[in-house]
Amino acid sequence: MLVTYGSSSEVLARSIAKTVGLALVEINIRRFPDGEQYVKVLGNVSGEDVAVVQSLGMNPDALFIEYSLLVDALKGAGCRSVTAVIPYLAYARQDSRFHRGEPLSIKVIAKFIESAGTDRLITVDMHLHRYKEIREVFSIPAVNLSAMPLLAEYYRENFGSQRTVVIGPDMESEQWAKVVAEKLSAKYMILEKERLGDRDVKVSGELSTKGSKVVLVDDIISTGKTLIEVISRLKAQGVKRVDALVTHALLVEGALTKLRRAGLSELISTDTIPGPQAKVSVAPLIAEALKR
């Protein structure tokens, strides 16, 4: 197998290739003056299985097009198969027609990925809530890995786990909070979230955290409004330290600054989305999946 990359994940792709001991195929990616994208495969991929690493955060529409062009270029150059390594899979949050007239976005994107020529898919902590398994979304072989054990281990080694309470901000986060709590030998609790719009939420539920250090756990931070709401409640109860473990830290609209102001001590995420808070790499996790 060979490894290559899209523009969002070159550093991660190089790390994966080094970890698993595979050759990296370089790519030329540029734009025409009118904004159209151009990609060119610079290595020989004839007869090879190729893993394409392309996370879909921050500019998903353009990155989807780039990924599609890259897969077609690889297939046109004679590669045997393409494994999509999409650490952050955008549009998965719209996994239901919540209101009349809405698209089922996750199914649309799945079809898009498949029709591009993808043979297999690997992703990390996909936003699977209304669907129980990733195979319900994709018709090609697909694997959904979890970075939560890695995040929990990093936290335990660097910050300890004594007198720690793990909190998930909504019922959908319980799957991750449970894993982190087990790794930290801590208890966990789950709150309830009501979404009032794209940017506003209301969080409710009982909190019992007296004398504890709190670790918030979720799959995605975008604007940060959900965690800010929880942090505000915790601070009002006198909790002195609140940290957060998140797989995908999008952090749009100044979210990190707002979280700090709300009282968040540490935000630890993975490199599915690059950034200074990405202290944990998913490269070993993906490398092991490629070996299998």
Report pLDDT digits (tens) over 42-79. Answer: 999 999 999 999 999 989 999 999 999 999 999 999 99
Report the pLDDT value the prediction gives residue 202, as an integer from 0 to 100: 54
Mean of pLDDT values over 18-35: 96
Q: 199 versus 245: which is more confidently predicted?
A: 245
Mean of pLDDT values over 155-168: 92
For 133-147, 203-217, 227-241, 265-279, which range has the lowest pLDDT when averaged over its residues? Answer: 203-217
Report the pLDDT value the prediction gives residue 177, as an integer from 0 to 100: 94
Per the listing, tokens 């599915």 go with 272
Which residues touch 220 (CB under 8 Å, ≥6 apart)?
A: 93, 127, 246, 247, 248, 250
Report the pLDDT value the prediction gives residue 93, as an integer from 0 to 100: 84
Q: 93 versus 207: which is more confidently predicted?
A: 93
Q: What angle do CA 93, 95, 98 make, to 5 degrees?
A: 100
285, 145 Cβ separation under 8 angstroms = yes
Beta strands 192-195 and 201-204, pairing class:
antiparallel
Report the pLDDT value the prediction gives residue 128, as an integer from 0 to 100: 81
278, 79 Cβ separation under 8 angstroms = no
Q: What is the rounded distance in angstroms from the CA atom of residue 48 to the CA atom of residue 34? A: 34
Position 233 pLDDT exceeds 90:
no
Domains in the chain (CATH in brackets) are 2-146+281-291 (3.40.50.2020), 148-271 (3.40.50.2020)
Mean of pLDDT values over 204-214: 70
Which tens digits make up the pLDDT trace of 179-203? 999 999 999 988 876 554 555 555 5
pLDDT class for 171, splitting at 50, 70, 90? confident
Report the pLDDT value the prediction gives residue 195, as an integer from 0 to 100: 57
Beta strands 164-168 and 213-221, pairing class:
parallel
Report the pLDDT value the prediction gives residue 205, as an integer from 0 to 100: 54
Position 223 pLDDT exceeds 50:
yes
Report the pLDDT value the prediction gives residue 161, as an integer from 0 to 100: 87
Query: Per the structure block, which two tokens stand in for 51?
Result: 């893993």
Report the pLDDT value the prediction gives residue 272, as an integer from 0 to 100: 97
Which tens digits make up the pLDDT trace of 80-139? 999 999 999 999 988 888 889 988 999 999 999 999 999 999 999 998 877 778 999 999
The proportion of the chain whose per-residue pLDDT surpasses 90, expressed as a percent, equals 76
Q: Hey, how many other C-beta atoms are within 10 angstroms of the C-beta on 44?
A: 12
Report the pLDDT value the prediction gives residue 206, as an integer from 0 to 100: 63
Q: 191 versus 290: which is more confidently predicted?
A: 290
Query: Per the structure block, which two tokens stand in for 278?
Result: 């990405």
Q: What is the rounded distance in angstroms from the CA atom of residue 262 to the CA atom of residue 216? A: 14
Q: 76 versus 229: which is more confidently predicted?
A: 76
Which residues touch 149 (CB under 8 Å, ≥6 apart)?
A: 179, 183
Which residues touch 261 (CB under 8 Å, ≥6 apart)?
A: none
User: Of 264, 177, 272, 195, whose CA–CA distance to 227 is shortest?
Assistant: 264
> Please, what is the average pLDDT of the chain?
92
Where in the sequence numbering do the catalytic residues fall? 193
Provide the whole-model pTM: 0.92
Position 6 pLDDT exceeds 90:
yes
Report the pLDDT value the prediction gives residue 203, as an integer from 0 to 100: 55
